[in-house]
Structure 1
């Protein structure tokens, strides 16, 4: 059967094309695009490595190391970006350039215009969930003169001048993109398209975050910017016993009004709005994974009235909290 034989005399409608695609799909076995399950003498878990476009490699992993080891990597000139979704801080040694520490939920960037070798010591039993991308020179070359107009120039700058590093504070959007590298539900050509789209979204979000961070550092000064970032780290580190704004200001060494103003400038929301958003995320986990009632989940995260909790939850997620319990499997994490 040829394609010409399937085309009706009057041409094909969009619906005809979909039906034709469905017929051909019956004869094609979809390619698995999920991370591969591996069990080696060094580590066990899942790994994904996929070149989604020339010069753009997407990688992700959820692995547990079986023995103590130094994980060494040799790389040609590139920009490496990654986020540790879960795990403990690790120190990476770069030959000829010293070391730097990677922290959970922190976006780490490493750029170099010549081959390098770096080593990360890893301990037995430690688990890491990571996701990132690698941009090779071919990626930047494809943009030619337009690169300054699309935000990617901030990333390209890191690949000049030898070896350079940068960090970006945690972004919920970047974290979600990274998570989907590991957890996406697609296979075959749809999976390929999703990974390409997700990788490009990853690059764009990181580039924009890097530009925004540089702009804010220039506006506030590095010291004041770092104080605000530290304040958010304190808040995120203990969402159950959240410090008062006054206590938070004292801990980071800044007055309350300056902290309020700079926090809003850097993160686009007030301290209270940030804590409320994080607690709504906690509530989602309590509903889905721990099967708490709506009233109890709301009470646990600080709402005195279920109606107020439901309204805030709907505004944030676009659906009422009770729908989370209907969708939940009821499995409590072990």
Structure 2
């Protein structure tokens, strides 16, 4: 059961030093193994400003009970990698939830006022490391604009609300761990962190190039068809057309549509429908007072139990926890 939400909102771009926060869990119920008045989590968050546009990040967090860590983020490009501990579910508005796994960096293009959320299970302890780049970094760091090899990063920066999970990288983990263990001061620290950021960015671009080479994108004609198909699905996600009907509506054969839809959006048509239904259900659970069963029906599920199972599998917790976290009450019927 999610019992608390942090009201501490460190800003990744501007906060320096270490922020510490601990809140009390809500009173435990008879069915909960969470002790009353225990602390939901404790964390150390550090953001060291290397320059006006670049920060080095670290977060060490320990959850004493199931809880939600939430941080407000300025407009920035953030890359995080799990250095140690248990995998955690990461979510940012407008993007699918992603499991943050050891060595797998996640890169996120945040808009101003976005938030980053980590869903933590009781006993979870994890350490994250990474960097944050503000929108003006291309102007302040000329080396980011000179080479064609840097195009994957610059193109990513041009896509609002974009998120990408990259292949595993022991090099990034080693870089981040070494940086956290170094204790340089003054100008030496500044030089060291600048070299760290440069190495980190180079490795990120290398991973993005590997990802792109492993899956060539669709040509512009087929990309347009894939986008048109997605728009049709989004217009009625609860009652989407079949793949064959969809291909007929956009004017391309079903095999071609399936291939280029996956190339464009990195998932099958059915997986896209599944993920969008659950994403919309999540938004409704957070912002409306509809019963959970009604929410499940409104996004296309005909069975509330099947919806609850799919929701738990996708997000790592049941829909009732979403309601508790954001509205403080729950019912599968009326609420």
Compute the TM-score of the two structures, normalised by the length of structure 2: 0.49
Hey, which of these two has a bigger chunk of helix by percent? 1
From the CA coordinates, give the structure whose radius of gyration is larger.
1
